[in-house]
Amino acid sequence: MNANQIVPLQALAAAVPDGALLAVPKDSSGVAMAATRALVRRRVRGLHLLCVPTSGLQADLLIGAEAVATIETSAVTLGEFGAAPRFTAALRDGSLRILDSTCPAVYAALQAGEKGIPFIPLRGLIGSDVLRHRHDWKVLDNPFPPGDPIAVLPAIRPDLALFHAPLADRFGNVFVGRNRDLITMAHAAKHTLVTVEEITDDDLLQDAARAGAVLPSLYVTHVAVARRGAWPLALWDLYPDDEATLARYADAARSSDGFAQLLEEWLDAARAVA
């Protein structure tokens, strides 16, 4: 790991500029919630948030904090805790640009970005309302053979990918387990920011049992340690969702005042341990 690669959490958040195209993973892959709160603290604005392929609390928190101008996603939901209240409010009042997508479309467009190609074909969209409302998606005639229309999507190359993982090593390699979507995000993005529970002195790429599930440091821009950095969301099998906190959020965030009060409480608590 070079001297500039491992940074404090605040420095990692400072690497996300206003207006960035920021890719974030679904809840089960590893959500960088501590970094998200750090972004809110520094009042980031105008993000184009790409959910890979869905989001929940992270997107809702950033939307409520007025950090997001555009969201591209196939869903935003708190799951068993109900609808995402600040996303729903922004949808109703028109304050948020929403690019409706599908899970295969998000992954396919990122794979095009990963491969360095300008667009990628995808079946299953023709005739859907999603295609009708996405004017940046096109329908072309398949040349192999002709007479077979197929949708094509422009590649997505995020400015940054952001996620949380259990472990990195001092060389900058990050263990991502079976979450291959994190690797796709990092390959496609210009820069990748990762928070981790801990950093080990062992070279993860030299560990035969784990090397196949490691994102090499070549694709990692900054790493910051943030213990329990996915809280109140779960991190794989290391710790579960904090269901009481998620239920409280779902209730409080139904109103803008309730959201603001709970957010300030979270930020004050984070400042106290920073």
134, 62: one domain: no
pLDDT (tens place) for every residue of the chain, 274 residues total: 455 699 999 999 999 999 999 999 999 999 999 999 999 999 999 999 999 999 999 999 999 999 999 999 999 999 999 999 999 999 999 999 999 999 999 999 999 999 999 999 999 999 999 999 999 999 999 988 888 999 999 999 999 999 999 999 999 999 999 999 999 999 999 999 999 999 999 999 999 999 999 999 999 999 999 999 999 999 999 999 999 999 999 999 999 999 999 999 998 876 545 4
Residue 128 lies in a domain: yes
**Cα–Cα dist 66/191, whole Å:** 23
pTM equals: 0.95
Which residue, among 41, 40, 35, has the nearest Cα to 13 in the 3D structure?
A: 35
Enter the tokens of residue 209: 């049992």
Residues 149 and 206 placed together within one structural domain of the fold: no
HSE-up of residue 206 (Cα within 13 Å, Cβ side)? 7
Residue 2 has what pLDDT? 58
Under DSSP, the state recorded for 15 is: T
Pair 218, 268 in one domain: yes
Burial of 69 (0-12, 13-18, 19+ CB in 10 A): middle
Alpha-carbon distance of 122 to 158, in angstroms, equals 20
Q: Are residues 250 and 166 in the same domain?
A: yes
In a shared domain, residues 179 and 150? no
Q: Count of domains in the chain? A: 2
Whether 143 and 191 map to the same domain: the answer is no
Q: Which residue has the tokens 């190359």?
A: 157
Please tell me the predicted confidence (pLDDT) of residue 268. 82
Torsion over CA: 189, 193, 197, 200 (sign): positive
Residue 107 domain flag: no
Residues 227 and 263 in one domain: yes
Beta-strand relationship, 68-73 and 47-52? parallel
Q: Residue 211 and residue 200: Cα distance in Å, rounded?
A: 14
Cα torsion 21, 26, 32, 34 to 10°: value is 110
Instruction: Verify that 86 and 190 share a domain, yes or no.
Output: yes
Count of residues making up the chain: 274
Q: Which domain holds residue 147?
A: 119-154
Cβ partners under 8 Å of residue 121, min gap 6: 140, 142, 150, 151, 152, 153
Indicate whether 37 belongs to any domain: yes
What is the structure's pLDDT at 146? 82
Instruction: Indicate whether 254 belongs to any domain.
Output: yes
> What pLDDT is stored for residue 145 in this prediction?
84
pLDDT of residue 248: 97
